[in-house]
Amino acid sequence: MAINYGLAGKIFVVTGGSRGIGLEIARELLNQGAGVAICGRKMEGLEKAADELGSPQNLHIVQAHIAKPEEVDRLFTEVNSALGPVDVLVNNVGMNFVTPSVADTDPATWQKIIDTNLNGTFLCSRRAAIEMKPRKSGKIISISSIAARKASPGMGIYGIAKAGIEMLTRVLSAELAPYNIQVNAVAPSMVRTDFSKPFWSNREIHDHIIKSIPLGRIAESQDIVHPVLFLASGGADFITGQVLTIDGGATVL
């Protein structure tokens, strides 16, 4: 899909950019002429992603654990040195594994899922805002999920974390509006990536999911990429505090 979003020369940080939705966002941003930094916890995955993206000069990889404040600080310091001041942060890191009921979950499991999804989003958004406020310009875009609004078996803590991201989006949008920083999120339904493969690769589960989606299919990564790029563009300068649902109509039923 050839759409020019006017992002050439803009500097992006995409967390969790070594695979799935994050990798596809990075790929399209590079195609648009943006400078892109992707981060992840494993250098092996980052190097593989860089190879897949062709290792262009406007790509920078950083190994970092975004739930650790000191590593988030190092991430932004490295990006500033390699590419320049960050214009747009895309909070894409997400992690889930099937859990028992929240009431039966051990605290360590709770903490791991909350740290990766919610605390990491807070820490990166906080660090981005520190840089963007003096310039009175910037955008923060987070990847939420329709799981934030519907209790789903095995995904309770993940949904709670994503609900926190949606409120964080609203709160930050109000706090950062005086600095001309727009803060938004997108909330997809299930997307066909390795992250969700345990669900869509099961024919029975796949067919059950399809029946709940009026458009009759599971989302592909590109269905999420372009709304994110729109929110990063000048066309969304008067949009803030919003969560754009991308679910093929699933939540209207």
Active site residues per annotation: 158
Q: How far apart are the C-alpha atoms of 139 and 128, rounded to whole Å?
A: 9
Q: Contact, 89 vs 139, CB < 8 A?
A: yes
- What phi and psi, each to the nearest 5 degrees, are found at residue 173? -60, -40
Count how many residues are written for the chain. 253
